[in-house]
Amino acid sequence: MRVHVISDMEGVGGIVKPEQTNAGKPMFEEGRKLYTQEINAAVRGAKAAGATEIVVMDCHGAGEGFTFNSLVAEDLDPACEFVVQEEWAGYTEFLEQGCDAALFVGMHAMAGTRDGVLNHTVSGVDWHNLWFNGTLVGETGINAALCGTWGCPVVLVTGDDAACREATELLGAGLTTVCVKQGLGGRSARMLTPARARDLIEEGARNALSNLSAVEPYDPGKPCEVKVEYKSTGPPQRLRFQFGVELLDDRTIVSRADDWWTAWKQFFFAA
């Protein structure tokens, strides 16, 4: 069994402040350790479920050299391999080769979710809202659509209660979720201790991988329309001559194609 662990940092237990997730801040070192240990918990669970190949892909843009490179390599479980990519969704090889399931660890809720700890979509500075064929989505939706492009189902999502709720609404009741904190606001939460969170994630990963057909691979639909409402007029202006992209108004673009991945590629990597 081949398992992809796709991860973000804001949804990790013990993390609640931006200073824990941004490179260059003293608290970032603590955040990286908490993050790495949650990944290890998912790896242990996958291994216990019979995974023979486990590849971890960090999708957190911490800034500086830590972007997509926040895990403490020295502390990672030897049962996994890990990818440091240059751009988010830039690494697709493991999915292309055929992956049995994905586990999403440390996810946060979409921008505008009141009880979502550190909630945002892609960029807190530039992005306001994102839709796939009319459905409002966050980063779980993006990563799930990426997996779904190659037929890989997402069977586990961990994060705060808001991220788990968002994931279940999108992917269905068959999804296993592990809630490690209850957001009280964007930068406050009632949390499990990291040790307890890791136990639950290990158990959740093992259980989720025992039934790979519990969740269908996610497909936003064909043809596919990706709509982004930005916070300012700059990003749409930079995309105005991009093939397949139309400006709906000064802050909103729509990218249309036969399938989600084509629609995503034709604007996301160009912006």
Shorter beta-carbon distance to Zn ion: residue 8 or 202: 8
Shorter beta-carbon distance to Zn ion: residue 108 or 198: 108
Distance separating alpha carbons of residues 142 and 220, to the nearest angstrom:
10
**Per-residue mark of binding to Zn ion, 45-84 (x: CB under 5 A):** ---------------x------------------------
Shorter beta-carbon distance to Zn ion: residue 129 or 140: 140
120 binds Zn ion (CB under 5 A): no
Shorter beta-carbon distance to Zn ion: residue 70 or 266: 70
CB of 159 to Zn ion, least distance (A): 11
Give the Cβ contact number of residue 73 at 10 Å.
Answer: 9
Distance separating alpha carbons of residues 155 and 157, to the nearest angstrom:
7
Q: Name residues whose C-beta falls within 8 Å of residue 127's C-beta, 6 or more positions apart in sequence.
A: 111, 120, 121, 228, 229, 230, 231
> What's the number of CA atoms in the CB half-sphere (13 Å) around residue 99?
27
Distance separating alpha carbons of residues 220 and 62, to the nearest angstrom:
28
| Total interface residues for Zn ion by CB under 5 A | 4
Distance separating alpha carbons of residues 43 and 56, to the nearest angstrom:
9
CB of 136 to Zn ion, least distance (A): 19
Shorter beta-carbon distance to Zn ion: residue 10 or 100: 10
CB of 22 to Zn ion, least distance (A): 10
Q: Tokens 């055929």 label which residue?
A: 98
Q: What is the DSSP letter of 25?
A: S
CB of 109 to Zn ion, least distance (A): 12
Distance separating alpha carbons of residues 95 and 101, to the nearest angstrom:
9
Residues in 139-198 at the binding interface with Zn ion, rule: CB under 5 A: none
8 binds Zn ion (CB under 5 A): yes
Residue nearest to Zn ion (CB): 60
**Per-residue mark of binding to Zn ion, 9-28 (x: CB under 5 A):** xx------------------
CB of 112 to Zn ion, least distance (A): 16
* Nearest partner of 107 among 224, 201, 221, 247, judged by Cα: 201
Chain residues that interact with Zn ion, rule: CB under 5 A? 8-10, 60
